Amino acid sequence: MRAAQHSRYGSAHEALEIVTDLAIPTPGPGQLLIRNHATSVNPIDSSVRGGYGAEFWKSTGQVVLPHIPGRDIVGTVVEVGTGVSRFAVGDRVWAGTFSGGSAEYVAIPESWAARPPRGWSDVEAGSLPYVALTAWAALVDQAGLAPESARGKKIIIPRGAGGVGSFAIQMMKAWGAEVATIVSTGNIDLVRRLGADTVIDRTQQEFSEVLHDYDVAFNTSFGIEQPLLHALKTGADAAYVSIVTPKLQLMDKHGIEKGQVMGKELFREMVDSQRALGRRYYWSFMQPNGDALAQITLLAETGAIKPVIERVFPLEKLAEAHELSDTKQVQGKIVIQI
């Protein structure tokens, strides 16, 4: 099968290569083999390719060189392992995963998969699973929001024009929340179309001067933790949840063992300090979750969620797609057609 992979860490053009002779995976018990039609480039893909968190990813087995990047899958089931009960050969599915999406075939546990929204193309569906599940893990699993409890809540979502932010704004607005976001000037119109109620142009104003007494802060950007915390209510069970934690940076700098200890100590200190203010504090990490994707499918089929796509590349131009992602000037997602 064809796939893109990197056998070392480095820049996109130095590290990424297209191979054509990889063996097609064999689905194990409880797994689906999917003929993959599209994936996307998430910022984490570029960071991992460049060496970010290398020792941690290696220790968990999530990144083993040579590594096939790509954390989104949409395609057709072509073979099933023993014990599979929810899907059959010929079913169209989508899933979020930790790697492997930049390949013609991918084997995943069936519990990671769901049926994509009816009427969505492969390109549209390929843009969403990873960012949707990242937002779901943070806002639903950690912050505890749901369609009923989110109504009327005030929520801050920085970088609202990015992949995670653009999905999170739409989901929270569909659930009746009041959403504030922080973007650059060129992204203001986009986030307003997505439904953001309060839009801060970060090139013109400090959001800490404007945003106060919020119920949830969903941090998607390094360097703004303290201003986001100050924007939260005190003594009212407000929640701060971040997908940009210092955990991997500490491990890269100090080694796996010492970095893990330092990360745990820092996290515990922050939990305690925020608890004293009547707030909750979380670090959040995406988890593959077919049940959550099934709910996201239903939400998308109502029209409440629409894909936001900057550009589409063929698999052979994955390095160029990574370079575009590295500019950090992308609206929504970069999709890879396979």
Domain with CATH 3.90.180.10 in the chain: 3-128+307-337
- pLDDT on residue 238: 98
Which homologous superfamily is 131-283 in? NAD(P)-binding Rossmann-like Domain (3.40.50.720)
Return the CATH fold of 3-128+307-337. Quinone Oxidoreductase; Chain A, domain 1 (3.90.180)
Taking only the tens place, the pLDDT of each residue in 38-52 is: 999 999 999 999 998
CB atoms within 10 A of CB 99: 19
Name the E strands within the chain. 3-6, 16-19, 31-41, 72-80, 92-96, 105-109, 113-114, 154-158, 178-183, 198-201, 216-219, 238-242, 279-283, 309-314, 333-337
Going by C-alpha positions, the residue among 73, 75, 63 that lies closest to residue 39 is 73
- Average pLDDT in the chain: 96
| Cβ atoms of 123 and 337 closer than 8 Å | yes
Taking only the tens place, the pLDDT of each residue in 154-205 is: 999 999 999 999 999 999 999 999 999 999 999 999 999 999 999 999 999 9
| Cβ atoms of 313 and 102 closer than 8 Å | no
Percent of all residues in the chain with a pLDDT value above 70, rounded to a whole number: 100
pLDDT at 2 over 90: yes
Domain with CATH 3.40.50.720 in the chain: 131-283
Taking only the tens place, the pLDDT of each residue in 231-264 is: 999 999 999 999 998 888 888 888 888 988 999 9
CB neighbour class for 30 (10 Å; exposed up to 12, middle 13-18, buried from 19):
middle
Write the DSSP assignment of 215-251 as a string of letters: SEEEE-STT-HHHHHHTB-SSS-EEEEESS-SHHHHH
Partners of 336 in beta bridges = 39, 313
Taking only the tens place, the pLDDT of each residue in 267-304 is: 999 999 999 999 999 999 999 999 999 999 999 999 99
Distances (CA, A) of 281 to 155, 243, 259: 15, 12, 20
